Amino acid sequence: MATKTVISKYTGLEAVDGVIEFPQDKTLYVEQFTDNPPLKPVEVFKPKTLSEVFDHYRPEKKGVKMTTQDGQTVKENFKFTSVNDFDDKNLIEQSNYLKSQQEAVDAYKNIEQQLMKNKILKRAIADDETRQNLVSALQALLAELQQAEKHNHGRNKNATSSPRSTKQWRSRRIGRCTSVSKSGWPTQGKH
């Protein structure tokens, strides 16, 4: 047996003792959707559709505070033109911060899927020695990329690297791998 939601503190004419029954197949949103209250009483607005309500009131929320991983506060503004604007996807589309967070989540999910599917990588991670060799190789690659970024920081941003410099980088990179482990992963040599 379905129960009915009862709303109290209703002062309308249809209420008996301040209580009305609310049908179960309806949704009631109770929230202040605008930051500013009306300055003076206005004529009663009698909408026929939900889109008329959004067109008339144009709800928006300004200065929604979000905290980044660094502890900084980011403020975003949200506008609502339909009930769909309350969905996660539409809220993310309105916020640069939420977009960047969603992109990071998607990237992590992609990496997780790649790790789950890559059998060779699973074997490399399972063995302590090969896992350490892989971590060392990735750290060396990261350090080299950071060094290259610092080196290229002062150069013209429109300039592109030549094929010769790319080939030289590859040959230097391959030359640093002095041996290959049992699983086929290169081990880092000292130069």
- pLDDT tens digit string along 81-106? 998 998 999 999 999 999 999 999 99
Q: Which of residues 23 and 50 earns the better pLDDT score?
A: 50
d(CA 99, CA 38): 33
The pLDDT value given to residue 17: 54
Longest dimension (CA), the chain: 88
Band of residue 161 on the pLDDT scale cut at 50, 70, 90: very low
CA trace torsion 146, 147, 152, 157 (10° rounding)? 0
d(CA 171, CA 151): 19
Reduced to 3 states, what is the DSSP secondary structure of residue 183?
coil
Q: Which of residues 126 and 187 earns the better pLDDT score?
A: 126
d(CA 53, CA 83): 11
Task: Specify the range with the lowest mean pLDDT, choosing from 15-24, 38-47, 128-137.
Answer: 15-24
Mean pLDDT of the chain, nearest integer: 75
The pLDDT value given to residue 20: 63
The pLDDT value given to residue 171: 42
Q: Which of residues 45 and 138 earns the better pLDDT score?
A: 138
**Per-residue pLDDT tens over the stretch 176-186:** 444 444 544 55
Q: Where are the beta strands (DSSP E) in 33-132?
A: 60-67, 73-79
Q: What is the mean pLDDT of residues 61-68?
A: 93
CA trace torsion 116, 118, 120, 126 (10° rounding)? -10
